Chain A
Amino acid sequence: MADVIAAEFAKLRRSGVPWVTAAVMVVAVLGAALLIWIVRDPERAASLGLLGTKANLAGLEATWTAFGTYVTAIAGAGGLLLLAFVVTYLFGREYADDTAKNMLGLPTPRWRFVVAKLAVAAAWWLALVALLLAAAFGTGALLDLDGFSGAAAAGIVGGTLFAAGVSFLLVPVCAWITIATRSYLAPLGFALGMLLLGNLLGHTEWASWFPWSIVALLATGAGGPTVLPWTSYAVLVATFAAGVAGAIHRLAHADNP
């Protein structure tokens, strides 16, 4: 198994995609920082017109707590899209580069490729979250936000890691769709559609049952994660298990022309 994981990491050598995802993370933090920089000065907000209006509408305050909530949302709801992109790339490139046939003809049980690729996605995601936190603390310090304390910092780190973790539970479904369709578009379209549907259902009584709403609720609840019943966590775990099982079954047993 270690050899397969090492091989999956080796496939990323010289790939530009990890750098693109890192840039997206940093830009997301800088975007939040820009809005905070604008709203902390009403005159500046007024002089910036639409941008100032957007910053005010975002309801951001120049505090570590507000900034932390935004960072958590990046790791949670935003992470769903970025993670879908990462997983779709890891699985989809085998079809785009026409290397799937070489991989599947190797004397290695096929489930190992699914597990190894998800392990690489997890490591990649962890590195991105670490970058997100580093960028957040760096820009927060530069902006000299109010209310810094050890508890606030621990809250931001804990909340972000929790949001990142629950987001990851939903990505194996994207891997499954990538393998089934052998394309990039379908899983990315699916991820975007689920994110929108999750936001819509997030305002209904179905929210605690729909995986993509659950992540949004857990990751963006103001003043800390929303408290959800245990069944919501069971839904997330079941979605993860279904995604992994579906991806393995599809890769191991379906035709791979």
Chain B
Amino acid sequence: MRYAKAIFCVLLIMAVGGCGVKPTVFLHPDYNFRFLERVAVVPFENLSTDQGAGARITQVIITELFSSRAFDIVEPGETSRVLESYSIIRTSALTKEQIISIGKQLNVQGLILGTVTESSSQRSGSSTSNTVTIMARMIETETGSTIWSASHSVNGRGFWSSIFGTDSKSQSEVTRKCVKRVIGTLID
């Protein structure tokens, strides 16, 4: 009986441990987030080898933000049009003046920018392990200062799939999980 309890405790700890780490978050202590009514999502920069990961994750973020009903989201096509007029190559390198100006043009209080640092699939034997890592931040368009930032990494190969060799999560499931967790730090 004692052994059974010990095994159960070990499994429980491993299961909880397998849930992974929480996102790393920064929230501006003095900023009133209720001020945010409308935000725009700038296409995420892609530093991974997975072509299209930036655009794909941007779409998932927009869906997640809209579903939260926390604020209005600018139609991505309009965001792209305004960004095109600035001939910006790297969205992560926007200057403070550009951010303020873009904010005025899009009539938004916040811009969400970010980077996909990893979006990969690794095969090990008959199973595939998918990993997604993103860094996101929100910049307030009146002053150009960062009011929220979060980074997180999710691996589709969870505790149970590692132990029992069951199928791990697909790339899109991993992406959605990662985005949900990152956005959760802003909305909750």
Q: Do A and B bind each other?
A: no
